[in-house]
């Protein structure tokens, strides 16, 4: 699947975030820093932010993946700037 097809298929934000989550963590959330599997969802942004319950590292579904940038499309063009250290 190309990125274009992906973006076309997942035009809805909610579906998009969910699909990206499953693409990134097919076996469930895993903190990129400490590998903890429990997390909080921070929904103050249009694309949810996932915060590790253990080390409080924050990550998005697309940070560090080839889908980086897709979230901008998912969010319907709004310019989000993520302060995540990724
Ligand atoms: Zn962690």
Query: Could you tell me which residues come within 8 angstroms of residue 10 by beta carbon, excluding any fewer than 6 positions away?
Result: 16, 19, 20, 74
In the block, tokens 């103050």 appear at 44
Q: 48-69 pLDDT, tens per residue?
A: 889 999 999 999 887 766 666 6
Residue 85 predicted with pLDDT over 60: no
- Does pTM top 0.85 for this prediction? no
Report CA(23)–ligand 1 centroid distance (Å). Answer: 19
- CA dihedral (32, 42, 86, 52) in degrees, to 10, reads -30
Residue 39 predicted with pLDDT over 60: yes
- Within-domain flag for 43: yes
- What was the pLDDT predicted at 84? 47
48 or 15: which leads in pLDDT: 48
- Within-domain flag for 8: yes
- What was the pLDDT predicted at 16? 73
In the chain, how many domains are there? 1
Report CA(10)–ligand 1 centroid distance (Å). Answer: 28
Q: What is the rounded end-to-end Cα distance, in angstroms, of the chain?
A: 25
- What was the pLDDT predicted at 50? 92
Report CA(73)–ligand 1 centroid distance (Å). Answer: 27
- Within-domain flag for 59: yes
Q: Percent helix, strand and coil across the chain, each rounded to 5?
A: 30, 10, 60
Domain ranges, residue 53: 3-74
- Within-domain flag for 80: no
């Amino acid at each position: 699947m190309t990125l274009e097809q992906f973006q076309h298929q997942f035009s809805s934000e909610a579906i998009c975030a969910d699909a990206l989550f499953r693409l990134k963590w097919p076996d469930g959330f895993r903190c990129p820093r400490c590998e903890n599997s429990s997390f909080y969802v921070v929904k103050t942004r249009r694309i949810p932010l996932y915060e590790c319950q253990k080390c409080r590292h924050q990550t998005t579904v697309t940070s560090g993946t080839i889908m980086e940038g897709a979230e901008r499309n998912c969010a319907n063009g709004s310019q989000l700037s993520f302060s995540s250290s990724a």
